[in-house]
Structure 1
Amino acid sequence: MASAKWYVAHTYSGYENKVMTDIQKTVDNRGMHDVIQEIRVPMEEVIEMKDNQKKVVERKIYPGYVMIKMIMTDESWYVVRNTRGVTGFVGPGSSPVPLTPEEVESMGLEHTTVSLDFEVGDHMRVKYGPLEGFVGVITEIQMDKKKVRAKVSMFGRDTDVELEFNQVEALA
């Protein structure tokens, strides 16, 4: 069976939560949990000032859109497309286009956990890129950016560089 991918359904503005609830009810009623696996309206907390009072409110990150993790079949397409408030899927014409893994990650829909085999102070080698083959010492690990900072010896002097996790390998 195909794996589920994230799709984006366009809705009337203000109907996002209603659409999410209605799709969830249909999934429950029809027993489609294996096909339509997750439905989300991404939210963020924002501080608003009102009458000189700070107030934390939830705001939709993508107004007018609902994110749905599903296996695209005729039935799943039909269920989402015919939910009241849905105007269509994001994609050319009537063919929905799934989000790329990079889009899913950047939208915060799924977080991939990264296990590193190095830590600050470890010696490392650059595997590819303009600094391929250079050796250095890791000075900082930035988990949120998936990057490391390192001191690399170039032309007899230490130089600070920033590299992607996958560009670096620990030296034994």
Structure 2
Amino acid sequence: MADNANWYVVHTYSGYENTVKATIEKYVENRGMQDLIHEISIPLETVTEITDNGPKEVERKVFPGYVLVKMVMNDETWHVVRNIRGVTGFLGEGNKAIPLSEADVAALGVEKREVVVSYQEGDTVRITDGALESFLGTVEEIDLDRSKVRVVVSMFGRETPVELELDQVEPAND
């Protein structure tokens, strides 16, 4: 059944996102619907706010008024989610909910995909995308959590570290 599950955007009253998420999770647990409703997410970002007391890190909702739900869409799941207090509907046309595309899910960073890279620190790599396309460099650091790689490139006789996406570099074939 998990193959049929897609991410859907649920519109809520502003400020009700956490309540809606908790209520959906409670429904899923009480009704044994774990095979139909898999995951509920509220995209958050960490922002540094400058206050009188100095800088403070705060988590802020990326899309206030919206909750993301990974579920198998059928009449029962639609009805359960749609009739939760605070939910105004699904994103879509009329009563038809439209699932997010794989590209949208990846861009939102909702689902973490395991990334396997064919290079390691110290390897020579070729940059395949961006302003430095076709440059060669040495991998200095790989950050799998952020999907970033730091490559040291020689430009104009100087060693310059450049941060790139993991898929923007490939092992150099010497």
| TM-score normalised over the length of structure 1 | 0.72
Shift of 1:126: 7.5
Which residues in structure 2 correspond to 1:45-84 (within 5 Å)? 45-50=46-51, 52-54=52-54, 55-84=56-85
Match of 1:90 in 2: 91
Instruction: Give me the CA root mean square deviation.
Output: 3.6
Shift of 1:94: 2.1
Match of 2:170 in 1: 168
One-letter code aligned to 1:75: E
| Secondary structure in 1 matching 2:92 | coil
Match of 2:17 in 1: 16
Specify every segment of 5 or more residues in structure 1 that has no aligned partner in the other structure, as ranges: 153-159
What fraction of aligned residue pairs are identical, expressed as a percent?
46
Shift of 1:119: 2.6
* CA–CA separation in structure 2 for the residues paired with 1:142 and 1:100: 28
CA-to-partner distance for each residue in 1:88-147, whole Å, 9 max, x for gaps? Answer: 11122222222222322232212222121213443456889xx99x79454556644556
1:110 and 2:141 matched: no
Give the length in aligned residue pairs.
167
| TM-score normalised over the length of structure 2 | 0.72
CA-to-partner distance for each residue in 1:62-99, whole Å, 9 max, x for gaps? Answer: 10001111111211111111111111111222222222
Which residues in structure 2 correspond to 1:120-135 (within 5 Å)? 120-124=121-125
| Secondary structure in 2 matching 1:10 | strand
CA-to-partner distance for each residue in 1:13-51, whole Å, 9 max, x for gaps? Answer: 11111111211121122110111111122233334344x
* CA–CA separation in structure 2 for the residues paired with 1:4 and 1:67: 12
Specify every segment of 5 or more residues in structure 2 that has no aligned partner in the other structure, as ranges: 155-159
Shift of 1:59: 2.2
CA-to-partner distance for each residue in 1:1-24, whole Å, 9 max, x for gaps? Answer: 333221110001111111112111
* CA–CA separation in structure 2 for the residues paired with 1:121 and 1:59: 37
